[in-house]
Structures are given as structure tokens and as C-alpha cells.
Structure 1
């Protein structure tokens, strides 16, 4: 009987309290996927998610200034490493949750042909949107693809967004006809709006977009946050969702 009581007490201590809220900073490209994961995990584990979506650079600066997040899903692996080094994140919590995939996309179903490389090289578009390569890993990847196909990066036909989210908005609003974007954003958009046209550049033409997550040292709910991260890392269901949303694992 005494052992049963002790076991119950241990479970009470380690399980998240009902109504536990996790504050999560997430890169814009992973927001839709995180929301799917949260909808699945939250009700079964008594956890609510307060999600802040934006550029990894913006979140990084906010965290360095003391923003009260529990978890940070970054679009790269450099910012998580820097946060660990500066003492803002827990070292052994850091892991790669996905590898991003770059896509050339247009909401127009007939705009991009099967031979997307030739389309890029011929310049059969008025403007192409990319994320800023100085601050965004998807921008670095887009720049590498364009260089691989002989595109002049100084051309005025390139429209640069400060984040991959802004670059995506340039395309959906018609400010650019096509964009080199995150495949995950395209999949989420097409689920709601219908298929456009797309071409996947060879992964060998751009550096890997390794996306990492980390538990922050200011976390208000470190146990609940760690449990969620363990689920993201080990659950077959979570991995299937991430892969189906346009990421490599």
C-alpha cells in the first residue's frame, strides 16, 4: 500500500498540471506544423500553447532581452547554439527537429513548368521573392540555388523579404510572381487554397537548413516543456506530421 501511495505521488509530481500553459516562440515556416502538433498533444496532456510566430532573428533578440518563453523552435541551428553559449538555453535540450526544404513556387497552377531550373535560368518571371540571406537560412539557401543556376543576384527582379514569411506574402499578394520559399509554407497554403505550381531544387545546390529547438532557461514550466519536446523528438506520430508538412527528418 505504501509503495502504491509513493507511486501515485511521483506521478502527481511529474505530470503537467491541468491547464499548464507553454509559451512557445516559433519560426514562421514551422508555425502551421507546431499548431497541428499542439492540437494533438495538448488535450491529451492538459497543456495549452501560447504560440508566438515570427522570424528566428526577431525571437532570438527578444530571448536575449529576457522575453518569457519556455521553448524556441528556430529555423536554423546557429541561434540555438548561441543561446546555449550565452546561458539563455539548456544545453542538453537542444536537438534538430527537422530539415527545411526549399521550393520554387507560384500560386498560379500553370506558372512553373516541370523544368524549373530552365525557368529560373531563362528569367520567365517579372519578380522572384526570397528571404533576406543576411538573416534567414531560407534566404541563404535561395541565394545558393540562384547562384548555382547563374542568376545575377544584383538584379532588381529579386524582391527580398526580411523573413521567409514576408517573402511568402510577397508571392501570395502578387508583389512577386514566384518565390524560393519553404515547402512547408506552400503545403499549408495549398491545403486551404488549392494547388499552385512548384519545382524542388536539387538539395545538393543549397546548404542544409537544419532547424533546431531548445528549452529556455527562463522557462516557467520546464518539466511540461521538456515532456513536450521529448514527445516531438521520439513520437512516431509527431515525426509523421512533421514529414507530411514538407520537412526532411
Structure 2
């Protein structure tokens, strides 16, 4: 009796497959036993990702290098039989912090300009304006919504009305350091305090340029592997 009871319970756990109108149906839920897939290890440079791919450490199978964003690149395998991928390595850029659309006092803004932005003509012009404000309160003598003029030092011992440049063309560190940082336009504003802020004004177009720069770097660095069809780069 016990044996019969156990056999009955076992049979209750087994799925019965029925066919109707050319389709298969089960009277119980079925769960696919999937092939195992790997999780990506993390690096923070494109050169680290390139070094891993050139080493062929995990084999010579074809891989896909996907540029997900200006700060993220991942390497995966083709789809397996379960329509899943292995994730081999992921590069995430380590970047300095700057908050756009937020006002900084002039001392902090001055430091950020020198440490977070690539040196160019507009950056140097802004440094001159920010470094020569003479009052605790910014006296706006002209503001047409586009350009401002403020009171600042214009000589060794004199003050005058100084035009605040707008828009400004700047290149913040926003993508991997191995590639050129895209320049884009910003609106530069000042207010009492004195405080300064930058507002992005290119609609995010710099992101496409950064992604193209990353793709170009990878194509140049992995030329042999691409030509042998071992690596496919998508961006």
C-alpha cells in the first residue's frame, strides 16, 4: 500500500503532455533548465578592456563589444540555445563630478573649471571673469536673457563692466580618458553671492560624439581581431 501510494504521488508530479490542433499543452507548469551564463568582471578603462580581449584569456570564441553609453562598454557572447548571453567584461569610466544646472560659489567654480574641464579658450576666458569679481554681490548691469555684464576688476586697481561670455564652448571630462572629450555649448550664468552655474545647451548631442570616439578607439586598437571576425563592435 505504501509503495502504491508513493507511486501515485510521483505520478501526480509528472506533467502530462497533450496535443491539440498541432500544439503541445501541459497540465502542469514547466520550467526550463537553462545553460549557465557568466557575469561580467569590471574594469574602469578602455585599455583594460582591450588588454583582456587581446589576451584571449577566456578563449577565442567570437564576442560582441557593445558601446552602451559614453561611460559604459560591455563584452558579450553571441546568443546561446536559450537566447541568453555570457557577459565577459564591463568597462565603466571613473570621472570627476560636476553638477550642471546648479550654482557654485566662485572659489569652488574656479577649482572645478581647472580640474574637471579640458583647457581651451572659453574655459580660460571664464576663469578670468570668475577670478576677478570684486563684490560679494554680483551687480548685473546688463542682462538680455542671453548675455550678462557684471562688475569685475579690469586692471590692477580699477573696476568696470565685464561681459560674461555666452554661450561657451567647453569640454568637461564626461567619457573615458583614452578618447577625446567632446566639446559642447553651455549657458554660463552668474548671480549674487557671487555664484556661477553652467547649463547644458546642446541637447545631449555630445553623447553621440563620445560614443563614436569610443568606437573609433576600439576599432583602431582591435583591428586584427575585427578583421579575423572574432570581434564585432556595435555602438
Give the TM-score normalised by structure 2: 0.25
Give the TM-score normalised by structure 1: 0.24
Q: 1 or 2 for the larger relative contact order (CA 8 Å, sep ≥6)? A: 1
Q: Which has the larger radius of gyration?
A: 2
Between structures 1 and 2, the one with greater helix share: 1
Between structures 1 and 2, the one with greater strand share: 2
